[in-house]
Chains A and B, each alone.
Chain A
Amino acid sequence: MTAANPFPSLPTHGTRKVSKWGDRIFVALTGIAAAGILALLVALVAVLYNGSKSSIQVLGFTFLYTTVWNPVGNVYGVVPFLVGTLLTSSVSLLISIPLSLGAAIFLTQQAPAWLRDPVGQLIELLAAIPSIVYGFWGLIVLVPIMRLTIEPALKLYLGWTGLFVGTPIGLDYLTASVVLAVMTIPTITAISRDSIAAVPRSQKEAALSLGATDWEVTRNAVLPYARSGIIAGIVLGLGRALGETMAVLLVIGNSPYLPKSLISQGATISTVIANDFFENAGPFELSALIEAGLILLVVTLVINIGARVILARFQLGRGGMAE
């Protein structure tokens, strides 16, 4: 700097004497924000654990394997709700996976070009509709249809399976699963569509040149290539379904018993928390409800992390190709 300045017209101050204080303060501020995110995550687990301590200490593991939830008798077992959560989520996936995949395949492979973008964007928009809107629609529009048409028909034709025992009233696991499917379909379709659309043309052309039909191209060349993206979409949909409250709360009937059939009234972990949190809940019941929330958190985390591991494996297998 002391030697000849190659650009004498430029000011020399400020090139070296840049204030380090500005930098330090800025790093500190953004660092605090970054630490805040991590702290939030730690606090989430710690506070939920602390809130459920009395329930954990008194009930111990019985909370996890007993099936009676009775606030009057001060007996709490989470199994009926855990079963309800897993049942509604899996039935909703049974409905939403084939439909979403079919729609994604149609939108990327068969639909005329002018239809692809508008419908695709519409579906992305539908994924942003709040769950209370789906739940309200489910209660007012879908429940009567389920009660009067679909459930009697299922009883009549599929009654022999034993899945549809009881009086159809429309407020049950099946209706909750249908609403969950309706609200997760846009998510799964949008992500599957993106990953199918990202499959290189050469992949399809290679299969076509071997004489494959349209379906064989899709089945053998396109879908395997888009597999990790599709799985990611499904898991995201599953995550939404597992934790969903409002859409389920309004249509599941809210009864704290193990399911007798798909058309019996029930509850999930999230709906029992939403339902029982206020009704003159005593401190111990609140503690049990918070523990139920902790378990829901663990279930969703395990599934999310599991999905990540699966995805990472697929990506490794393909040399880190797809997103």
Chain B
Amino acid sequence: MKFDRAVRRKIFSHGMTVASGLAIVAIMVPLASVIYEAIVQGGSVFNLAFFTQGIPYPCSPRAGVVCQQGGIEPAIQGTFILVGLASLYSVPLGVGAAIFAVEYGSERGIARIIGMAADVLAGVPSIVVGAFIYALVLLYDPAIVFSTISGSLALAVIMVPIVTRTTEEALRTVPNSVREAALALGISRWKTSVRIVLVSALPGVLTGVLLAVARAAGEAAPLLLVCNGLRSFSGFNNVVAAVPIMMFTFATTPYQNWINLAWGGALFLLVLILGLSLASRYVLNRMARRMRGG
């Protein structure tokens, strides 16, 4: 009887090992499918035209009809403009707030409150950020509610907490002895913060910025509300196209050449985000090596 119980426990244990192995297979199947389809379907349109040409007329292949592949140049350009502008607002704000929290705030006081505010902001659904920017810009000037400005503001709100949190963490890794050494040499506090602490934490800050850019580049929901269009950039007060919005618009149409371009957009975003992740990892690794004194 005792032996039986031991055997049963062993078998159950092996069963659970198999089950957890199956779990990883089960999660890898859909995730591999996402990446496989993006590479295969998106790869078929990933050529020079994709990056340089404008959006083609919608078309599905029929007898006697050859569809133009076209490209998504306006959307790629728009994504860079929107994310660039958003970085312009969010990086100084996030880095500044993090410096204030770490260098001038106390653990329990201001630093905690700013950290909590950043966490709360990070948890706000992106569609709500879109509604917020819509209602905010409407108060200011109804004529530019749907514009590049609104779109970049929405992306900035999404980027700020990411930049703040990662910068805070990076600044905290700089040992206090470094600050004390600088202050003891008579260097003023702000120069210590900028030239010594911020510079040592720069790779961490850069990682945060790259992560925030990756997040903003793939964000569609807020743009759907305040910057939804397929047009090339024509001024900050007008709507501009973006890759995720282009994907959404094309996904809901029956036209084959648009669906193909949407797959191309998926591959573009995957490559962009992979590139940014690898870049941030590279930066962090270099920092780790430098800290070890290698």
Q: Which residues of A contact B224 (CB under 8 A)?
A: 245, 274, 277
Chain B residues with CB under 8 A of A128: 211, 214-215, 273, 277
Residue B234, interface by CB 8 Å: no
Q: Is the CB of A131 within 8 A of B128?
A: no
Tell me whether A90 is interfacial, beta carbon within 8 Å: no
**In the complex, what residues of A have CB within 8 A of residue B104's CB?**
27, 30-31
Q: Would you list which residues of chain A between 213 and 257 have a CB under 8 Å from chain B?
A: 213-216, 218, 239, 242-246, 249-250
Given A125-B274, A129-B34, A301-B123, also A47-B251 (CB < 8 A): no
Q: How far is the CB of B236 from chain A (nearest CB, A)?
A: 21
Q: Give the shortest distance, in Å, between B30 (CB) and chain A (any CB).
A: 5
Interface of A is mostly: helix
Cβ A290 vs Cβ B33 within 8 A: no
Residues A51 and B135 in contact, CB atoms below 8 Å apart: yes
CB atoms of B193 and A26 under 8 A apart: yes
Residues of chain A within 8 A (CB-CB) of B157 are: 40, 44
Q: A168: CB under 8 A from chain B?
A: no
A51, A109, A270: the one contacting B221 at CB < 8 Å is: A270
| Other-chain residue from B95, B99, B110, B128 in contact with A296 (beta carbon distance below 8 A) | B128
With A213-B10, A277-B225, A300-B123 as known contacts, state yes or no: A126 contacts B23, CB within 8 Å.
Answer: no
In the complex, the answer to whether B92 meets A33 with C-beta atoms within 8 Å is: yes
A199 close to B (CB within 8 Å): no
> Are A136 and B270 interface neighbours, CB within 8 A?
no
Say which one of A59-67, A96-104, A149-157, A258-266 lies at the interface with B. Answer: A96-104
A242 CB, nearest partner CB in chain B, Å: 7
Chain B residues closer than 8 Å to A38, beta-carbon distance: 113-114, 117
Bound together, the chains give a CA A130 to CA B24 distance in angstroms of 21
Given known contacts A23-B188, A38-B114, A274 and B127 CB-to-CB distance under 8 angstroms: yes
Task: Given A29-B96, A133-B218, A213-B9, verify A296-B24 contact (CB < 8 Å).
Answer: no
Contacts of B30 in A (CB 8 A): 142, 182
In the complex, the answer to whether A102 meets B19 with C-beta atoms within 8 Å is yes
Residues of chain A with a CB closer than 8 A to B66's CB = none
Q: Complex Cα distance A182/B34, Å?
A: 10
Q: Which of A22, A215, A277, A300 contacts B191 (CB 8 A)?
A: A22
The answer on a CB contact under 8 Å between A102 and B24 is yes
Nearest A residue (CB) for B99:
A30
B33 touches A137 (CB 8 A): yes
Cβ contacts A71-115/B at 8 Å (1 or 0 each):
000000000000000000000000000111111011101110000
- Do the beta carbons of B23 and A102 come within 8 Å of each other? yes
Q: From residue A303, how far is it (CB to closest CB) to chain B in Å?
A: 9
Q: Which B residues are in CB contact (< 8 Å) with A290? A: 131, 134-135
Question: Chain B contacts of A111 at CB under 8 A?
Answer: 24
How many chain B residues touch A (CB < 8 A): the figure is 94
Partner of B22, one of A102, A239, A277: A102
In the bound complex, CA of A15 to CA of B182 (Å): 12
Question: With A and B bound together, what is the CA distance between A40 and B293 in angstroms?
Answer: 40
Per-residue contact bits, chain B 157-192, to A (CB 8 Å; 1 contact, 0 not): 100110010000000000000000000001111110
Q: Is the CB of A102 within 8 A of B20?
A: yes
Which of B34, B93, B127 has the most C-beta atoms of chain A within 10 angstroms of its own C-beta? B127
Q: A129-B273, A132-B220 are known contacts. Are A215 and B132 too (CB-CB below 8 A)?
A: no
Contact B135 A37 (CB under 8 A): no
Please tell me which one of the listed residues B24, B96, B134, B160 contacts residue A103 in the complex, with CB atoms under 8 A apart. B24
Interface of B is mostly: helix
Are A186 and B31 within 8 A (Cβ)?
A: yes
Q: Quick one: which of A1-54 are within 8 Å of B by CB?
A: 14-16, 18-19, 22-23, 25-27, 29-34, 36-38, 40-41, 43-44, 47-48, 50-51
On chain B, the residues within 8 Å of A273 by CB distance are 127, 130-131, 225
Contacts of A129 in B (CB 8 A): 34, 218, 269-270, 273
> Judging by beta carbons under 8 Å apart, are A34 and B135 in contact?
no
B221 touches A50 (CB 8 A): no
Q: Are B34 and A137 in contact (CB under 8 A)?
A: yes
Q: How far is the CA of A41 from the CA of B132 in the complex (A)?
A: 11
Q: B28 to nearest A CB, angstroms? A: 8
Which listed residue (B10, B93, B128, B218) contacts A33, Cβ 8 A?
Answer: B93
Q: How far is the CA of A41 from the CA of B186 in the complex (A)?
A: 38
Tell me if B252 and A37 are in contact (CB < 8 A).
no
**Interface contact A213-B124, CB-CB below 8 Å:** no
10 residue pairs bridging A and B, Cβ less than 8 Å apart: A30-B100, A51-B131, A99-B26, A126-B31, A136-B263, A136-B266, A139-B251, A140-B251, A140-B259, A304-B120
Closest 8 CB pairs of A and B: A130-B218, A243-B125, A102-B23, A33-B96, A51-B135, A26-B190, A213-B13, A30-B100
- Given A110-B17, A128-B214, A135-B251, 10 additional A-B pairs, CB 8 A: A38-B114, A41-B120, A44-B121, A51-B135, A103-B24, A130-B269, A132-B266, A140-B263, A216-B9, A293-B132
Please list the residues of chain A having a beta carbon within 8 angstroms of any beta carbon in chain B.
Answer: 14-16, 18-19, 22-23, 25-27, 29-34, 36-38, 40-41, 43-44, 47-48, 50-51, 98-103, 105-107, 109-111, 119, 125-126, 128-137, 139-142, 182, 185-186, 189, 213-216, 218, 239, 242-246, 249-250, 270, 273-274, 277-278, 289-290, 293-294, 296-297, 300-301, 304
Q: Could you tell me which B residues sit within 8 Å of A by CB distance?
A: 9-10, 12-17, 19-24, 26-27, 30-31, 33-34, 37-38, 92-97, 99-101, 103-105, 110, 113-114, 117-121, 123-132, 134-136, 138-139, 157, 160-161, 164, 186-191, 193-194, 211, 214-215, 217-221, 224-225, 228, 244, 247-248, 251-252, 259, 262-263, 266, 269-270, 273-274, 277
